[in-house]
Structure 1
């Protein structure tokens, strides 16, 4: 064995037995969909980016705010900081030179194998690369479909490194923010976002817009109903998308008309005057009968002929 090989193996073992994952991974809790995909490089090393506690270190989260995500509660899983990609992103693995002598490769494993590390050899079709990891290598896009993928170290000789942190959790997300392939994201009325625990990007609408793709304008947000009336969105109504429910003393499309009071639209040929809060007197031109005027007394909008 050459002196160079001996030095590399010594360095390798020092990294394995001295370094233990204790860093907190930095990540955004909510990210926005990018129009263009981007490359991502993961350093396959034990020196920089190994976390241990599933929540506080690897995801940089408070366990109390994870809701129903409790399956991994209190897991101590040394691993390279988990990675979240959007569909179409590329992934490169940059290996540590001192590990190349171990004949290392990556394998696509199950969640259970990821947590406990593979106990036996993996199948050839599970191997990420067709050759040993040396330098910088791109992960084939076939391993980066939508969903969560678990990669673990697979080697030919030397100590098992998976338990030391050589495993990577990769989640690939698609966006569900378009009504059609070439439509604008969220109809141009919202942002296409994903929280760290969500499986996809979804629309978060701007004020006054709603719907899965923010395609609906919320008329109620403009407060069209007056006098403390309630507003209800009704998409089935042709031409209208809202309906006002008026208090007893008001009526009309927007609850602006006082029940029992004459309204400008009530009589077009004549005069109207309020007598009491619930009574009004109408004088209408009869015209075609030879009689000059008709007089009606109205109570709560119900009218009776008085004289002519």
Structure 2
């Protein structure tokens, strides 16, 4: 475990607005880490028990997209979200090491109601009573949400007091192959609190599931109100196509259909580009603006003294 990052997770908490509960601190957006991390959860009633499912355990505000109308008061250890392949360690405090307690994998309903099925010993997380630090077997940490409750042979229900934990394990869909770069090197692999996966969030002008596509239209290469059509494909092999409005033509709609005629460019020089197109190169302090009676006008830029001419 020496080359893996260690995250000691009492799941840092602070006092919330509710006297009997804590408010869990968490990032609303997490970035995928390429190497597995280890999380240590303190199995105790004194540090990290939250009460209100949405407000304390998940810190969801009024602007959340999640429906919180069916709010639940379910005392529990602050919920945990980890990546597939991460390591989870349960650390019990000394006062909880004397009873014969263990952790059991249960359904969501049994988690809420603290119902333990004594006939399903194969759902016990550990082969012995919970004492000290125990690493959770990876078979309990597959992709999805898992519910663990405290079970004991006799005595009060520690689960009802809050000794239960739900763990969500997420996988990433940010690589085309195991050998390819995360998000093709053009974005970040992120997951929001209520997302079930990690996905690419691309940096402009890249797009696509893996940020593998380059949006050649992002730089607005089509002049004179031409429409840009992005040719989808690999980011290093694609281009764009401009759909020009008459009388403009050319790759970027910067050429004009026809041939140079005397005085066709006011305050500028006319240059033929092809046998059927030309451009106006304006004099200093003038810019091409629009056509009047089939003539291209270069209009004054006022106080500007530098060369500024475009179609």
Q: TM range, normalised to the smaller chain?
A: 0.7 to 0.9
| Range that drifts further, 116-125 or 219-228 | 116-125
Structure (1 or 2) with the larger CA radius of gyration: 1
Change (3 A) 1:193 1:122: farther
Any stretches of 5+ residues in structure 2 without a counterpart?
A: 1-18, 261-270, 281-291, 296-311
**Contact between 1:82 and 1:170, CA under 8 Å: does it hold in 2?**
yes
Counterpart mapping for 1:39-54 below 5 A: 39-54=38-53
Q: Secondary structure at the residue paired with 1:65? A: coil
**Contact between 2:106 and 2:116, CA under 8 Å: does it hold in 1?**
no
Equivalent position of 2:186 in the other structure: 189
Q: Secondary structure at the residue paired with 2:97? A: helix
Equivalent position of 1:34 in the other structure: 33
**Contact between 2:175 and 2:182, CA under 8 Å: does it hold in 1?**
yes
**Contact between 1:54 and 1:72, CA under 8 Å: does it hold in 2?**
no
Structure (1/2) with the larger helix percentage: 1
How much does 1:139 deviate? 0.4
CA distance in 2, matches of 1:236, 1:168: 45
**Contact between 1:190 and 1:205, CA under 8 Å: does it hold in 2?**
yes
The TM-score normalised by the length of structure 2 is 0.75
**Contact between 2:254 and 2:279, CA under 8 Å: does it hold in 1?**
no
How much does 1:260 deviate? 4.0
CA distance in 1, matches of 2:168, 2:95: 28
Count of aligned pairs between the two proteins? 254
Equivalent position of 1:258 in the other structure: 256
Per-residue CA distance 1:220-254 (angstroms, 9 max, x = gap): 112211112222223279x6532223233322221
Any stretches of 5+ residues in structure 1 without a counterpart?
A: 1-19, 280-308
Equivalent position of 2:137 in the other structure: 140
The TM-score normalised by the length of structure 1 is 0.76
How much does 1:186 deviate? 0.4
CA distance in 2, matches of 1:70, 1:129: 36
Change (3 A) 1:236 1:152: closer
Change (3 A) 1:272 1:81: closer
The CA RMSD over aligned residues, in Å, is 2.6
Per-residue CA distance 1:250-278 (angstroms, 9 max, x = gap): 2222111223454623339xx999xx954
CA distance in 2, matches of 1:60, 1:192: 23
Equivalent position of 2:247 in the other structure: 249
How much does 1:101 deviate? 2.2
Equivalent position of 2:67 in the other structure: 70
Q: Secondary structure at the residue paired with 2:89? A: strand
CA distance in 1, matches of 2:27, 2:244: 46
**Contact between 1:21 and 1:79, CA under 8 Å: does it hold in 2?**
no
